[in-house]
Each structure stands twice: as C-alpha cells, then as structure tokens.
Amino acid sequence: MPEGPEIRRAADRIAAALVDRTATDIFFAFEHLQPFREILVGATVTAIETRGKALLTRFDKPYSIYSHNQLYGVWYVRAPGTLPDTKRQLRLAIHNRNKSALLYSASDIEVLHDSELPYHPFLSRIGPDALDSKVTPEEIAERLTEKAFMRRRLAGLLLDQGFVSGLGNYLRSEILFVSRLHPQQRPIDLSDTDRDRLARAILDVTRQSYATGGITNDPAIAASLKAEGWKRWQYRHWVFSRAGEPCFVCGTRIEKSAIAGRRAYICPKCQPLR
C-alpha cells in the first residue's frame, strides 16, 4: 500500500496537471457516482489535498472527490487521449484541455459535499498528518501519553491512522530503527527522552521520504552506496526489506519478523527489547 509520502508525491503531480484548470470531462467507473459528472464537468479544480493516505480533489463548487488508493490504486498523469500501458481497470478520470489524471484499480472513491467532509468515516478519525508542516514533535509526543495510545505496542500503534496518519509498514520499521526502539515496546514504558526521540523520528523520517522520493536511510550513506553501484533497494532503507544484511550502524544482521500482521525489520543490537 502506498504510504503518505507516495500519496503526497502523486498529489503533487496531479495538482500540476489539474489545479486552476476547468474539468472538461470526468469519468466514474461506479454507477452510483454518475450523477456527479454533470455537476462537476465545467467546474475548476482548486486544490489537491492529502489527508494521510487519502486524497481530495477540490472544486470551485461545494464538492470534492475523495479517493483512497488502498493496496493497489495507482494514479497516472497523461496527455489527453492517451492511456498508460496497463491491465489495471480505470476507476476515475479527470480531464482538461492539457492533461488527464487517471486513477486505476482503487475502489474507495466518493464524491462528498463540503458539509459531509467532517463526518466521513475515514477523514473524521485520522490523527495528525505526519507531512503537515504545522504538526510538531511536541504534539506527537503528547499523543504518546494519551490513554488511547500509551499502552499499545509500537508495532501496532504506528500503523494506526488514528494515531498519526500517513504512516505504513516501511515507515514503521524505519521510524523505530531511527528511534532505537523495539516494536514490542509501549509508550508508557518509555522515558521522556525516548518518547521525544520517537515523536521527532515519526515526522523526520516521513518528511525525508517525501523529499527524497522514498529514501529513509541517511542521505549521505545512500548517495555513497549509489555511487559505488549499489541497487536502490539495497541502499534505500536503514532496515526495511534488508533481512540478513548488515546494519549500516553496527554491522549486526537485520532480522525480519511478522508483527501486528505485517512484516517488520529490526537491528537486534541497535533496538534491544528493554
């Protein structure tokens, strides 16, 4: 599933193609959305917003198209009248005179009146967005002490969009490594220093991934290894998807396990279970 940084980069591409342009046509694959085509064709796209892993296409009418890529959704931006070479099914298309934004495979697509946005089942329950520049480490550290979150294992907590939105499986492993914390630890068991370090890592690692196109390793290490001819998957992350490989910090072999139903990676020396 694409995580917050990937959705934000897709939003950037879509915004460049659609914002401040009139929608000349809109295609909905789902029959119940067809009545909204007549409402939105001819409207101007005013913004492309992300809410964690969800995306809102805003118009100069009181409606937004909500979409969530889930596991398999993919956005393409194309010249009008051209389609990508894919066997995926087209679910949503927004066209203007210059570009088309095409969403394939996703099934979670809705058209919402502005008055419905605060009550939407997903939008109404998500926590602060890790990519929102207004969110601070202090705010995240405070959430770690709240009753709803303080006794939960970090492995599950970091996947809960109600805690912080936009995080996912690779970010979970990377954030915990940077924090030097074990997935089985709980916020209540951590020192104030540990919680502050975790809160800062949640924001810093996510924002670095967005800025670098998905690299969560130290950028200097990644650049050096790339120059040596390493493949991207080998230098992209600190620990994620590197089972059996040496830790970039201490040389210990990275271990893989299944935690909270998802694969997780740790360095047993850098992240001891205390």
Active site residue ranges: 2-3, 53, 262
DSSP labels, 37-93: HHHHTTPBEEEEEEETTEEEEEESSSEEEEEE-TTT-EEEEE-TT---S--SPEEEE
**Residue type (1 letter), 18:** L
Dihedral (Cα; 8, 132, 123, 240), 10-degree rounding: 60
* Owner of token pair 């502050």: 196
**Strand order from edge to edge, sheet including 90-95:** 25-28, 90-95, 100-104, 74-78
Residue 4 near residue 52 (C-beta atoms within 8 A): yes
- Crossing angle for the helix pair 4-18 and 192-212, to the nearest 10 degrees: 40
Residue 115 near residue 132 (C-beta atoms within 8 A): no
Geometric angle at alpha carbon 269, from 250 and 229, rounded to 5°: 35
Q: Where are the alpha helices (DSSP H) in the chain?
A: 4-18, 35-40, 137-143, 154-157, 169-179, 192-212, 219-227, 232-235
